[in-house]
Structure 1
Amino acid sequence: MSTRPTGAPGRCLVDLSAQDRLRGGAPARTPRLRVLCCPPAGAAAGYWRFLVREDVHVLGVQYPGRENRFREPSAPSLTALAAEAAEAVAAAPWTSSGVPLVVLGHSMGASVAAELASRLEHREGIRVALLALSAKTAPGAADPQDPGDEDLRTGLDPQDPGADAALARWLRRLGGTPEAVLENPELLALQLPALRADLRLSGAHDRLPAPVPAPLLLLRGTGDGSVDAAGMDAWGPVATGPVQRREYPGGHHPLAAHRDRLLEDLEAHAAPGRSR
Structure 2
Amino acid sequence: MSTRPAAGRCLVDLSAQDRLRSRAPERAPMLRVLCCPPAGAAAGYWRFLVREDVHVLGAQYPGRESRFREPAAPTVEALAAEAAAAVAAAPWARAAITPGASADVPLVVLGHSMGASVAAELASRLEHREGIRVALLALSAKTAPGTAEVASTGAGTGAGSDEDLREGLDPLAPGADAAMVRWLRRLGGTPEAVLEHPELLALQLPALRADLRVSMAYDRFPAPVGAPLLLLRGTEDVTVDPGGLEAWRPVSTGPVQRREYPGGHHPLADHGDRLLEDLLACAASGRSG
Q: TM-score per shorter chain, which class?
A: over 0.9
* Match of residue 18 from structure 1: 16
Aligned residue-pair number? 272
Structure 1 position 116 matched with structure 2 position 122:
yes
Over aligned residues, Cα RMSD in angstroms?
Answer: 1.5
- Match among 133, 146, 149 for residue 143 of structure 1: 149
5+ residue gaps, structure 2, are 96-102, 153-159
Amino acid across the alignment from 2:123? A
**Mapped partners of 2:254, 2:261: distance in 1:** 22
Structure 1 position 257 matched with structure 2 position 263:
no
**Mapped partners of 2:254, 2:3: distance in 1:** 31
Amino acid across the alignment from 2:269? A
* Match of residue 227 from structure 1: 240
Give the 5 Å matches for 1:142-221: 142-146=148-152, 147-221=160-234
Q: Once the 2 structures are TM-superposed, how far is the Cα of residue 256 of structure 1 from its aligned partner?
A: 0.6
Preserved contact between residue 139 and residue 230 of structure 2 (Cα < 8 Å): yes
Amino acid across the alignment from 2:70? E
1:171 match: secondary structure: helix
2:5 match: secondary structure: coil
Q: Deviations over 1:41-81 (max 9, x none)?
A: 00000000000000000000000000000000001111000
Amino acid across the alignment from 1:19? Q
- Match among 111, 127, 138 for residue 105 of structure 1: 111
Q: Percent identity?
A: 81
* Match of residue 100 from structure 2: none
* Match of residue 129 from structure 1: 135
TM normalised by structure 2 equals 0.92
* Match of residue 99 from structure 2: none
Preserved contact between residue 7 and residue 72 of structure 1 (Cα < 8 Å): no
Q: Once the 2 structures are TM-superposed, how far is the Cα of residue 31 of structure 1 from its aligned partner?
A: 0.1
Q: Once the 2 structures are TM-superposed, how far is the Cα of residue 8 of structure 1 from its aligned partner?
A: 2.6
- Match among 55, 58, 61 for residue 56 of structure 2: 58
- Structure-2 change in CA distance of 1:5 and 1:240 (3 Å): farther
Give the 5 Å matches for 1:20-35: 20-35=18-33
Q: Deviations over 1:203-241 (max 9, x none)?
A: 000001000001000000000000000010000010111
1:246 match: secondary structure: strand
**Mapped partners of 1:59, 1:218: distance in 2:** 20
**Mapped partners of 1:94, 1:33: distance in 2:** 12
Q: Deviations over 1:80-115 (max 9, x none)?
A: 000000000001001113100000000000000000
Structure 1 position 71 matched with structure 2 position 69:
yes
5+ residue gaps, structure 1, are none
Q: Once the 2 structures are TM-superposed, how far is the Cα of residue 267 of structure 1 from its aligned partner?
A: 0.3
**Mapped partners of 1:168, 1:37: distance in 2:** 26
Q: Once the 2 structures are TM-superposed, how far is the Cα of residue 148 of structure 1 from its aligned partner?
A: 3.0
Preserved contact between residue 228 and residue 286 of structure 2 (Cα < 8 Å): no
Task: Name the structure, 1 or 2, with higher relative contact order (CA <8 Å, separation 6+).
Answer: 1
Preserved contact between residue 176 and residue 252 of structure 1 (Cα < 8 Å): yes
**Mapped partners of 1:143, 1:266: distance in 2:** 28
Q: Once the 2 structures are TM-superposed, how far is the Cα of residue 175 of structure 1 from its aligned partner?
A: 0.3
